[in-house]
C-alpha cells in the first residue's frame, strides 16, 4: 500500500483561550476525492489553512507527501494546489497573464511554464479564453481559472474550499465534472457544508464538528446513518398506516397531516413503483410523491452531537 499523501497527527490549534480544533488525526490517499464536511465554525477552515501552510498550528504535525509542513514549509507547499472559497483572482489580468503569474509564484522552472499553463487551460476548458480579462468572465469560468491556478504546477494534492459556491446549476455540473477529472491522478480534498455536494462527488468523508473528527469513513458508511430511507406522499383518499405497511419494503409510516405521509423504506429502489401500484389498486388517489431530502441533514445533526 502506498504511503498517504496527507498525514495529520494530533493536530490542535488555539485562538486566544479557545481551541478551534483538538487532536485531529487523518490520513488521505494519493487519488480520489475526500470530502471535508462540517458546519460553519466547526474547524474546517482552520484545518485547511494549517494543511496548506497558511497557519502555524499550536500542536501536532502535518505531513504532505512525507514532508513535515512545519519544518519544511516551502517543499511541502510545492506538493499542494489550493483554491480558497473566494478565488484569488486579479481582475485586470488576462487569463494567460494570471496563470503565468501563478506559475511564477510556485517557482516553476521557466522552461516548463508554457506547457504547464497550456495543459491547465486545456484541462479546465478555458484554453480559448487566454486573452480575455478575468473581469469579463462569468462566475463559472472564473471558478475554472481558480482551479487552473491550483493545478498549474501539477501538485499531488489539490484542496478546494466550497468550489461550487455561488454557481448556477449548469455551472455546478460542469465544475463537478472537472473536479472528478482532476481527481483521477491526484488527491482532492473537497471542503463543503453542503451535504448533497459531498454526496455526489466524494467516496470518502472526514467530518469535523466542534473542532474534532466525529466521522471518518466511506460515503456508503455515512449514508447508513439514515435509519431507513423515506419518501413524502400526498393522498386524496389516504390509507391507514397498517394498510401502507402492507406494501413490500415499507418499514414505518408517519402522518404529517391528514393527507401527507412520510413513508420509510428499507433501501428498496422499486418502492415508488409499488406505492403507485397500490394506490391505483386500492383507490388511495396518490397526488404527489417525492424523496425526503432531509435524510442527509438528519445524519449531519446526529453526528454533530457526538463527542469523540
If DSSP states are collapsed to H, E and C, what string results for 64-96? ECCEECCCCHHHHHCCEEEECCCCCCCCCCEHH
Q: Which of 212, 171, 232, 261 is nearest to 43 (CA)?
A: 212
> Which three cell numbers mark 140?
463559472
* pLDDT tens figures, 257-289: 989 998 888 765 678 888 999 999 999 999 888
User: What is the model's pLDDT at position 6?
Assistant: 97
Q: What is the mean pLDDT of the segment spanning 128-144?
A: 95
* pLDDT tens figures, 109-127: 999 999 999 999 999 999 9
Is residue 294 predicted with pLDDT exceeding 60? no
Is residue 244 predicted with pLDDT exceeding 90? yes
Is residue 194 predicted with pLDDT exceeding 80? no
- Ordered by where they begin, the domains of the chain are 6-79+155-223 (3.40.50.300), 229-300 (3.30.70.100)
Please state, in angstroms and as integers, the Cα–Cα distance from residue 25 to each residue in 40, 61, 202, 207, 256, following that order.
20, 9, 19, 12, 42
pLDDT-derived band at 308 (thresholds 50, 70, 90) equals: very low
> Which three cell numbers mark 203?
467516496
Contact in structure between 249 and 278 (CB atoms under 8 Å):
no
Other Cβ atoms within 10 Å of 199 Cβ, number: 16
84/79 Cα distance (integer angstroms) = 16
Q: Which of 249, 290, 293, 285 is nearest to 270 (CA)?
A: 249
Q: What is the mean pLDDT of the segment spanning 29-52?
A: 90
pTM score: 0.76
131/292 Cα distance (integer angstroms) = 46
Q: What is the DSSP letter of 206?
A: E
Please state, in angstroms and as integers, the Cα–Cα distance from residue 250 to each residue in 76, 241, 262, 284, following that order.
52, 10, 11, 16
What is the layout of strands, in order, in the sheet containing 286-291? 250-255, 260-265, 229-235, 286-291
92: exposed, middle or buried (Cβ count in 10 Å: 0-12, 13-18, 19+): exposed
Amino acid at each position: 500500500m502506498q504511503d498517504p499523501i496527507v498525514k495529520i497527527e494530533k493536530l490542535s490549534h488555539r485562538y486566544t483561550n479557545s481551541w478551534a480544533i483538538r487532536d485531529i488525526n487523518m490520513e488521505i490517499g494519493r487519488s480520489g476525492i475526500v470530502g471535508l464536511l462540517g458546519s460553519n465554525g466547526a474547524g474546517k477552515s482552520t484545518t485547511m489553512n494549517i494543511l496548506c501552510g497558511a497557519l502555524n498550528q499550536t500542536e501536532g504535525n502535518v505531513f504532505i507527501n512525507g514532508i513535515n509542513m512545519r519544518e519544511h514549509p516551502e517543499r511541502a507547499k510545492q506538493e499542494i494546489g489550493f483554491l480558497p472559497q473566494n478565488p484569488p483572482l486579479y481582475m485586470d489580468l488576462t487569463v494567460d497573464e494570471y496563470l503565468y503569474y501563478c506559475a511564477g509564484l510556485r517557482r516553476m522552472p521557466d522552461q516548463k511554464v508554457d506547457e504547464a499553463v497550456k495543459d491547465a487551460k486545456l484541462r479546465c476548458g478555458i484554453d480559448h479564453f487566454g486573452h480575455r480579462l478575468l473581469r469579463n468572465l462569468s462566475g463559472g469560468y472564473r471558478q475554472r481559472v481558480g482551479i487552473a491556478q491550483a493545478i498549474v504546477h501539477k501538485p499531488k494534492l489539490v484542496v478546494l474550499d466550497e468550489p461550487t459556491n455561488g454557481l448556477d446549476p449548469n455551472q455546478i455540473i460542469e465544475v463537478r465534472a472537472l473536479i472528478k477529472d482532476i481527481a483521477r491522478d491526484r488527491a482532492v480534498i473537497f471542503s463543503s457544508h453542503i451535504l448533497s455536494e459531498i454526496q455526489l462527488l466524494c467516496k470518502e468523508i472526514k467530518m469535523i464538528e466542534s473542532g474534532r473528527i466525529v466521522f471518518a469513513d466511506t460515503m456508503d458508511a455515512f449514508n447508513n446513518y439514515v435509519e431507513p430511507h423515506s419518501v413524502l406522499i400526498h393522498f386524496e383518499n389516504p390509507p391507514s398506516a397498517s394498510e401502507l405497511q402492507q406494501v413490500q419494503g415499507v418499514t414505518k409510516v408517519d402522518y404529517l397531516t391528514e393527507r401527507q405521509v412520510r413513508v420509510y423504506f428499507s433501501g428498496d429502489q422499486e418502492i415508488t413503483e409499488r406505492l403507485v401500484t397500490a394506490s391505483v389498486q386500492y383507490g388511495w388517489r396518490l397526488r404527489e410523491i417525492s424523496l425526503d431530502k432531509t435524510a442527509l441533514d438528519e445524519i449531519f445533526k446526529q453526528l454533530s452531537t457526538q463527542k469523540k
